[in-house]
Amino acid sequence: MKFRKRKRIIPILLIRGDLVYKSFKFSNYKYIGEIFNVIRLFNELYVDEICIIDLDSSKSLNPINYSILREISSEAFVPLCYGGGIKDCMQAEKIFECGYEKLLINSLLFNNPSMISEIADIAGNQSIVLGINVQRNMLGSYKVYNHLNKKNLNHSLDKYFSYIDELCPGEVLIQDIDRDGQGSGCNINIIEKARSKFNIPIIINGGVGNWQHIEEACLAGADAIGISRYCCFATSLDAILINYPDKRVYE
Amino acid sequence: MSIGVINCGSNNIASIHNIIQYLGYTATTVNHAHDIQKHSKIIIPGIGKFDSAMKNLKHNGYIDELELFRSNSSNLILGICLGMQLFTKGSEEGNQTGFGWFDATTKKFGKGKVIKNIGWREIKVCKENKILPHNNEIKEFYFVHGYHVVCNNKDDILCESIFESKFICGIHNANVYGVQFHPEKSHKFGCQLFKSFLTI
């Protein structure tokens, strides 16, 4: 029997309260629908995994809404990742208790990185996904964006990857802000840079507009591809349609 | 039939309840060891670390109660992920002894730093059993773990998969089943497994 290994395709959903929004270059949010309906549909489509990011909690505007998280997880028998304002071990435990396997952590990288290993101690490193949001600055260099103070970090991307790697996460999620919602393909350059640096799974998000983009990103070395525009709209951005590819990319 | 889900610390019991409910059954969370005997099927889930789970179970009197539960052959136990690893003699992840229900140990992937197996993998069922069909149909489950079980007794091997190389992803002996993957997160395949377990 041949064991096939395959790449994951992961809907990455931004929520505010119980509503889903699609972002374009991390702004210009377009309303998609109620999260519970969206999740139900993805569950019926047998998605590989779902990542939920709470926009308001990620900016510390709201506390983490555990009751919404619980209700989301009751609708889906697929792996779930939550991101948005995770600050400490107690929150991490509560999120697991809501039915989530993985924690997407970003803010702590800027304001309290030592907490990450404390959370990993209770959760296991494989449950930690560290998030990196990248955009080009005016000189065309890739910079890491800090959403808390809305500024780019001075470090080079390479140096930041090293910093991330030393924290020993289970996976890394790299989001290309410039390509977010553009549907013009993923950033192959960044995938290749990340592949040469990390041994852990790399999830790339930002830019998928068609199936070829997914294949190209996989070929470049991504282990998992985040989709949002691709799974929330029909052919045009005027028509919302929750959908999911019926093909997979095998190694 | 009464189904109990053990709460042994930091674990993900909500999803187990969700999928059981979806299939039309009800499970009860076991918060006290002495409640174990009220049930005829026990599920031991687990995410997190071997030592913390074992310490928790030992400290709260679960080991003796689970041994008693297991000694009744009409009872059934299903261990999931870390839950399955607890059935072994011990793990490279920690220093605690495991239940020792299988002649097996838990080892890490990778030689130095632990490598994690995260994602969907096809499994191959190795013997006739009551929770997974023993046929050539493709079965995929979701895995997220850095340690895996190595059995000294080949008859205990329920199913295998590949990550780097072949590894054991399910064990079974008498009334105890263990799966390394997360059936509660493996949609249709997981539903089939739970349905089979619940209708044994």
Q: Is the pLDDT of residue A136 over 70?
A: yes
CA distance B106 to chain A (A): 15
Q: What is the pLDDT of residue A109?
A: 96
Q: What is the pLDDT of residue A1?
A: 53
Query: What pLDDT band is residue B161 in, cutting at 50, 70 and 90?
Result: very high
Residues with Cβ within 8 Å of B59's Cβ and at least 6 positions away in sequence, in order, are none
Q: Nearest Cβ partner of A78 from B49, B113, B187?
A: B187
Element containing residue A35 per DSSP (H, E): helix A35-44
Q: Please indicate whether, in this complex, the C-beta atoms of A77 and B48 are within 8 angstroms of each other.
A: no
Q: Nearest Cβ partner of B185 from A8, A79, A224?
A: A79
Residue type, B42: I
Residues with Cβ within 8 Å of B37's Cβ and at least 6 positions away in sequence, in order, are B65, B68, B69
Q: Is the pLDDT of residue A167 over 80?
A: yes
Q: How many CA atoms lie within 13 A of A22 on its CB side?
A: 28
Q: Please indicate whether, in this complex, the C-beta atoms of B49 and A3 are within 8 angstroms of each other.
A: no
What is d(CA B77, CA B69) in angstroms, rounded to the nearest whole number? 9
What is d(CA A84, CA B188) in angstroms, rounded to the nearest whole number? 29
Q: Which residue of A has its CA nearest to B15?
A: A99
ipTM entry:
0.84
What is d(CA A195, CA B50) in angstroms, rounded to the nearest whole number? 31
Q: What is the pLDDT of residue A240?
A: 94
Q: What is the pLDDT of residue A250?
A: 87
Q: What is the pLDDT of residue B113?
A: 76
Q: Please indicate whether, in this complex, the C-beta atoms of A74 and B18 are within 8 angstroms of each other.
A: yes
Q: What is the pLDDT of residue A60?
A: 87
Q: Is the pLDDT of residue A160 over 90?
A: yes
Burial class (CB in 10 A: 0-12, 13-18, 19+), A16: middle
Which residues in chain B have Cβ-Cβ distances shorter than 8 Å to A73?
Answer: 14-15, 18
Looking at the complex, does the CB of residue A171 fall below 8 Å from at least one CB of chain B? yes
Which tens digit of pLDDT belongs to each residue from A181-238? 999 999 999 999 999 999 999 999 999 999 999 999 999 999 999 999 999 998 888 8
Q: What stretches of A71-162 adopt beta strand conformation (E)?
A: 80-83, 102-105, 128-136, 142-146, 151-152
Q: Nearest Cβ partner of A73 from B14, B116, B182?
A: B14
Chain A interface, mutation test: which of B31, B106, B118, most A Cβ atoms within 10 Å?
B118
Residues with Cβ within 8 Å of A71's Cβ and at least 6 positions away in sequence, in order, are A18, A36
Which tens digit of pLDDT belongs to each residue from B71-96? 999 999 999 999 999 999 999 999 99
Q: Nearest Cβ partner of A124 from B48, B121, B190?
A: B48
Of the ranges A20-29, A122-131, B105-114, which is most confident?
Answer: A20-29
Q: What is the pLDDT of residue B141?
A: 96
Q: What is the pLDDT of residue B197?
A: 98
% of chain B exceeding 90 in pLDDT:
84
CA distance A27 to chain B (A): 30
Told to judge if B159 belongs to the known catalytic residues of this protein, a careful annotator would answer no
Chain A interface, mutation test: which of B5, B7, B11, B12, most A Cβ atoms within 10 Å?
B12
Which tens digit of pLDDT belongs to each residue from B17-67? 999 999 999 999 999 999 999 999 999 997 778 998 999 999 999 999 999
Considering the candidates B8, B81, B126, B159, report the single residue annotated as catalytic: B81
Told to judge if B184 belongs to the known catalytic residues of this protein, a careful annotator would answer yes
Q: What is the pLDDT of residue B11?
A: 67
Which tens digit of pLDDT belongs to each residue from A87-133? 999 999 999 989 998 999 999 999 999 999 999 988 888 889 999 99
Task: State the count of interchain CB pairs (< 8 A) between A and B.
Answer: 102
The answer to whether A222 and A231 have CB atoms below 8 angstroms apart is no
Q: Nearest Cβ partner of A123 from B48, B145, B190?
A: B48
Which tens digit of pLDDT belongs to each residue from A39-61? 999 999 999 999 999 999 999 88
Looking at the complex, does the CB of residue B10 fall below 8 Å from at least one CB of chain A? yes
CA distance A138 to chain B (A): 37
Backbone angles phi, psi at B91, to 5 degrees: -135, 145
Told to judge if B93 belongs to the known catalytic residues of this protein, a careful annotator would answer no
Q: Please indicate whether, in this complex, the C-beta atoms of A99 and B142 are within 8 angstroms of each other.
A: no
The token pair at A81 is 């990742």
The answer to whether A105 and A129 have CB atoms below 8 angstroms apart is yes
